[in-house]
Structure 1
Amino acid sequence: MMNAVTKMIKKKLIFVLPALFVLITGIARPEAATVYVPDSYKSIKDAVEHTLPGDTVIVKEGNYSENILITKPITLKSSKGPDATVVKASDPAESVFKVFNVTGASIIGFTATGSDVAGIYLHNSDNDILQYNKTIENRHGIALYSSDNNTLKENIASHNKQTGMYLELSNNNIIENNTADSNEEKGLFLNSSNLNRVMYNSASLNKWNGITLWSSNNNTIHGNKVLRNTYGIVLSNSNDNSMEDNKTWTNFYIILPIILIYIGVLIYWVQRKIFTMIYREKNV
């Protein structure tokens, strides 16, 4: 009887001990994998769907027509940068790249274009990295909604139908060294977003505002170039924001020299008329 019990315990230990080892060491799968598009998978979407958390997808140069949904912490990057790796929305009603409920994803080195939503859209996602991307000819270049503690660096978000970068209900994000120029409405727009660092960006040549803060508090707005917009930096119902060393120059200052030249010519013409009339009166 004792032998039977001992054998049964040994069998159970054979199954229990490996499970305990996995729990203690955290080794539940092999090391993170790196896959390539189009070598490993023909499309970016397929590669993303088949990866596991922690994996890296490297996309080779080319033009891709896709909408990519990221729902796990992976690194997605191009091999040769945004000018060589262009992703156009196959369905304009969706973002080109959408990161949904993810902590710790990265998107690096793509051009994202052709979306009526956004080139890159973070929804309820935290601690993600967007870097070296070019988001052009979308509704919004880059949009964050309810997304905190993300890093947006060295992206270009220009020539979009509304804004270059739009944040709503998004806090504690780092927005540094980006370009948000020549958008149809605004360059950078913070809506109900607090404690963000907006530093050393360019928000110029936008048709309306360079940088807008709407019901957004305790943000740091430092060292930005906000040149030749209709309005430079606009705050509405926003308090305790730190504003230092920003360069602002609205379109008014481009028109002003022309106005002054016109006034100078007009004054010269009036003076000449007056002097001519005086001279004639003296010689009558």
Structure 2
Amino acid sequence: MRTEAICVVFLVVLAMIGIAVSVGVSDSTVSPATIYVPDDHETIQWAVDNATAGDTIIVRDGTYPENVKVNIERLTINSENGSDHTIVVAPGGANDHVLKVTADHVSIKGLTVKDAKGKNEAGFYIYAGLYIDAHHCNITDNKAMNNAYGFFLSDSTKNTLKNNIASDNLGDNIYLNHSDSNTISDNTVVKSSSRNGIRLWHSHGNTVCSNVASNNQNGIRLDYSPNNILEKNDAQSNILNGILLNASNNNTLIYNIAKLNDGAGISLVSSDNSVLTQNTASANNELGISLYTSSYCTLTGNVMDGNYYNFGVSGSGINHVNHSIATSNLVDGKPIYYWVDQHDQEIPKDAGFVGVVLSSNITVKDLTLTNNSVGVMLAYSVNSSIENVRTSNNFNGIALYTSINNTLINNTNSNNVEGIFMDSSSFNYLALNTNLHNNDGISMDSSSLNNLEMNRNLNNERGISMYSSNDNLLSRNINLYNEDGISMDSSNNNSLEMNTNSKNGWGIFMFSSNDNILNWNINLNNRRGFALNVSDYNILTRNNISNNNWTGISIANSRNNIIFLNNFINNSRDAYPFNSTTLWNYPFEINYTYNGANHRNYMGNYWDEYIRDTGSSGLIPPQDSDGNGIGDRQPYHSIGIDMAYYPLMKPFEYYTIYAA
């Protein structure tokens, strides 16, 4: 019995050992499965549902109408023969992504995903060909076409999108939303006419490299996305910009090509501390490289050529012009000289763009500067001179921003939007400059106490334009063939004297401008000599207003202007006041000499219509019975003028004024 018991125990032990060995062998030989669609499962989704982590799904050639949800980690889904032969299409009317990945370490290769264009409950197109809310996924060699979005990464990190094609999607071809540390490389993104080729939204630390982005709204766009690297991308023929950074700081752009875009090649908007190195921007319809309201950017070795404007810097504050821009940056083969905090130097003669910031006593002379947002820019700079510079086909030929006590002499600015532009700049002297075929010959915005004399402005929209600019002196300037010889808007306490305005639409046009003095100006052969609209307390005296086709002076909705000792000669209509109160004579008696005799009287204007009236109107012909040079018949009545007292018998030059 004892022997039998021992045998039974021995057999049980052997059985247990066998079971253990069997189990161990079974566990050690389990390997990932390869699942074929449609061989093993009719649809991709069924294959996913029956897979486990580490499995591979091979999708044979064909078209698969389904929305696939991938929630198995470490799953690989490959086509058998590439994306041209394996197409996953969203079922008709389906409001979902074609492929949605919510598991980490998933690999998808060689599929075409298309037609996810349904709307959400709010009526927006939000669905993607391939949507990823996961980490460490590899998406390669796929195509996304005709979806709301091509490839959409949301809250995803450390994924790789490589060698994919996204085209003809309604929204962004590749879109990263709050997604960080991803690599987007070697993709082709085309024909998103209403959105962007590649867009990053609140995403940082990504690498976007070696992609081709063309025929989109923007080739590559970053919004609120810092610390990304954009390298060796080719962004061309886009509807707006090749590369656009908006409110995105600390990004690095290196070796990118941006050309043939309808907007800018590379545009930075409110994007600080950006580094641009050895990028090429050419043949763009706006700017090659633009820095707008961006601060502390570093540019080295960039090439800009053949753009409408090659290079531009603009903004509203001192930080927006404070950049480090090396002379290795070229515009049409010429170096950029962008000097910050420099003093007592002269810009070299080979300059293609000149920027002078926070500097003093800088000389800019004998240069030719073309095709930039500005030829010469002085920003927050003092005591500098710009002389004998020729600018053309820039936005601003010469621009002064918050700059004081500078001298601009003998420069020629043609075919710019603004020949010379001054913003918030004072005590500057502009003389002997020629501005022609610009929108504005000389433009001042919020600038005061400047002296403009003997400048020539021809064939511009406005010869001299002033907006919100006070206490300036404009003298002996010549304005010919402009729409407005001199235009003033919201500008007060200026003196305009001895300017010649001829063959313009308006000789001098004033809107909402008060307390200005205009004297000794010549306004002739214009459509209108003077115009005062909503402008009060101005004084016009000793001006020649002659041979103007429509009116000598037009006054509308203006109060308490004093107009005296002016000549109105041979105008189609001397004056046209509307809803205005105007005093057509000086309000106090004046001491003067006329015909060799001294007189004291009130004095009005010389109206040749008054003198030509020989009684045909039934009125007494003009007479001067006391010989004081003031017509006896008063007031002078003309079309629109009922109260023009003290008309002069001869032009004002015949009267020598001593005192009022």
Counterpart-to-counterpart distance in 2, 1:54 and 1:170:
29
| Counterpart position of 1:38 | 38
The answer as to whether partners of 2:235 and 2:243 remain within 8 angstroms in 1 is: yes
Ranges in structure 1 where 5+ consecutive residues have no aligned partner: 1-13, 19-26, 264-284
The answer as to whether partners of 1:97 and 1:121 remain within 8 angstroms in 2 is: yes
| Counterpart position of 1:217 | 249
Tell me the CA shift for residue 115 of structure 1: 1.1
Query: Residue deviations 1:177-217, cap 9 Å, x none?
Result: 1111111x111111111221211111110000111111112
Q: For residue 235 of structure 2, give the secondary structure of its aligned residue in structure 1.
A: coil
Counterpart-to-counterpart distance in 2, 1:243 and 1:41:
51
The answer as to whether partners of 2:206 and 2:228 remain within 8 angstroms in 1 is: yes
The answer as to whether partners of 1:157 and 1:165 remain within 8 angstroms in 2 is: yes
Task: Specify which of 228, 231, 251 is matched with residue 264 of structure 2.
Answer: 231
The answer as to whether partners of 2:265 and 2:284 remain within 8 angstroms in 1 is: no
| Counterpart position of 1:76 | 77
1:132-211 equivalence runs, <5 A: 132-138=163-169, 139-160=171-192, 161-183=194-216, 185-211=217-243
Query: Are 1:246 and 2:279 matched, yes or no?
Result: yes
Structure 1 residues 189, 52: closer, same or farther in 2, change over 3 A?
Answer: farther
Tell me the CA shift for residue 58 of structure 1: 3.5
Q: For residue 144 of structure 1, give the secondary structure of its aligned residue in structure 2.
A: strand
Tell me the CA shift for residue 223 of structure 1: 0.9
Counterpart-to-counterpart distance in 1, 2:71 and 2:203:
19
Structure 1 residues 28, 61: closer, same or farther in 2, change over 3 A?
Answer: same
Counterpart-to-counterpart distance in 1, 2:248 and 2:157:
19
Counterpart-to-counterpart distance in 2, 1:37 and 1:103:
26
Counterpart-to-counterpart distance in 2, 1:47 and 1:76:
10
The answer as to whether partners of 2:283 and 2:308 remain within 8 angstroms in 1 is: no
| Counterpart position of 1:10 | none
What amino acid sits opposite 1:197 in the alignment?
A: I
Tell me the CA shift for residue 33 of structure 1: 3.5
Deviates more, 1:91-100 or 1:43-52: 43-52
Task: Specify which of 104, 108, 111 is matched with residue 140 of structure 2.
Answer: 108
Q: For residue 164 of structure 1, give the secondary structure of its aligned residue in structure 2.
A: strand
Comparing both structures, which one devotes a greater share of its residues to helix? Answer: 1
Comparing both structures, which one devotes a greater share of its residues to strand? Answer: 2
Structure 1 residues 63, 146: closer, same or farther in 2, change over 3 A?
Answer: same
Query: Are 1:96 and 2:129 matched, yes or no?
Result: yes
Query: Are 1:125 and 2:161 matched, yes or no?
Result: no
Tell me the CA shift for residue 255 of structure 1: 7.9
Q: TM-score, normalised by structure 1?
A: 0.71
The answer as to whether partners of 1:37 and 1:59 remain within 8 angstroms in 2 is: yes
The answer as to whether partners of 2:54 and 2:76 remain within 8 angstroms in 1 is: yes
What amino acid sits opposite 1:239 in the alignment?
A: D
Counterpart-to-counterpart distance in 2, 1:84 and 1:196:
35
What amino acid sits opposite 1:233 in the alignment?
A: I
Query: Residue deviations 1:50-69, cap 9 Å, x none?
Result: 43344333334444444444
**Rg bigger for which structure?**
2
The answer as to whether partners of 2:153 and 2:177 remain within 8 angstroms in 1 is: yes
Counterpart-to-counterpart distance in 2, 1:254 and 1:212:
16
Structure 1 residues 247, 28: closer, same or farther in 2, change over 3 A?
Answer: farther
Structure 1 residues 205, 128: closer, same or farther in 2, change over 3 A?
Answer: same
Q: For residue 231 of structure 1, give the secondary structure of its aligned residue in structure 2.
A: coil
Structure 1 residues 140, 174: closer, same or farther in 2, change over 3 A?
Answer: same
What amino acid sits opposite 1:213 in the alignment?
A: L
The answer as to whether partners of 1:35 and 1:57 remain within 8 angstroms in 2 is: yes
Ranges in structure 2 where 5+ consecutive residues have no aligned partner: 1-15, 21-26, 95-116, 119-126, 286-305, 310-392, 394-414, 416-660
Structure 1 residues 64, 202: closer, same or farther in 2, change over 3 A?
Answer: farther
Q: For residue 47 of structure 2, give the secondary structure of its aligned residue in structure 1.
A: helix
Counterpart-to-counterpart distance in 1, 2:162 and 2:242:
21
1:258-277 equivalence runs, <5 A: none
Q: For residue 173 of structure 2, give the secondary structure of its aligned residue in structure 1.
A: strand
Structure 1 residues 240, 110: closer, same or farther in 2, change over 3 A?
Answer: same
Tell me the CA shift for residue 231 of structure 1: 1.1
Query: Residue deviations 1:6-34, cap 9 Å, x none?
Result: xxxxxxxx9xxx9xxxxxxxx99944433
Tell me the CA shift for residue 228 of structure 1: 0.6
Structure 1 residues 97, 194: closer, same or farther in 2, change over 3 A?
Answer: same
1:9-88 equivalence runs, <5 A: 30-73=30-73, 74-88=75-89
Query: Residue deviations 1:238-282, cap 9 Å, x none?
Result: 1112211111114334889xxx9xx9xxxxxxxxxxxxxxxxxxx
The answer as to whether partners of 1:33 and 1:56 remain within 8 angstroms in 2 is: yes
Structure 1 residues 110, 215: closer, same or farther in 2, change over 3 A?
Answer: same
What amino acid sits opposite 1:119 in the alignment?
A: G
Structure 1 residues 114, 238: closer, same or farther in 2, change over 3 A?
Answer: same
Tell me the CA shift for residue 171 of structure 1: 1.5
Tell me the CA shift for residue 96 of structure 1: 1.1
Which aligned segments of 4 or more residues in structure 1 are displaced greater than 6 angstroms?
A: none
Tell me the CA shift for residue 80 of structure 1: 3.5
Tell me the CA shift for residue 136 of structure 1: 0.7
The answer as to whether partners of 1:186 and 1:211 remain within 8 angstroms in 2 is: yes
Greater length-normalized contact order (CA 8 Å, ≥ 6 residues apart): 1
Query: Residue deviations 1:65-123, cap 9 Å, x none?
Result: 444444454333434444444444444132111112x112222212111212x111111
Structure 1 residues 200, 114: closer, same or farther in 2, change over 3 A?
Answer: same
Structure 1 residues 72, 203: closer, same or farther in 2, change over 3 A?
Answer: farther
What amino acid sits opposite 1:35 in the alignment?
A: I
Counterpart-to-counterpart distance in 2, 1:105 and 1:72:
12
The answer as to whether partners of 2:210 and 2:232 remain within 8 angstroms in 1 is: yes
Q: TM-score, normalised by structure 2?
A: 0.32
Q: For residue 125 of structure 1, give the secondary structure of its aligned residue in structure 2.
A: coil
Counterpart-to-counterpart distance in 2, 1:71 and 1:158:
30
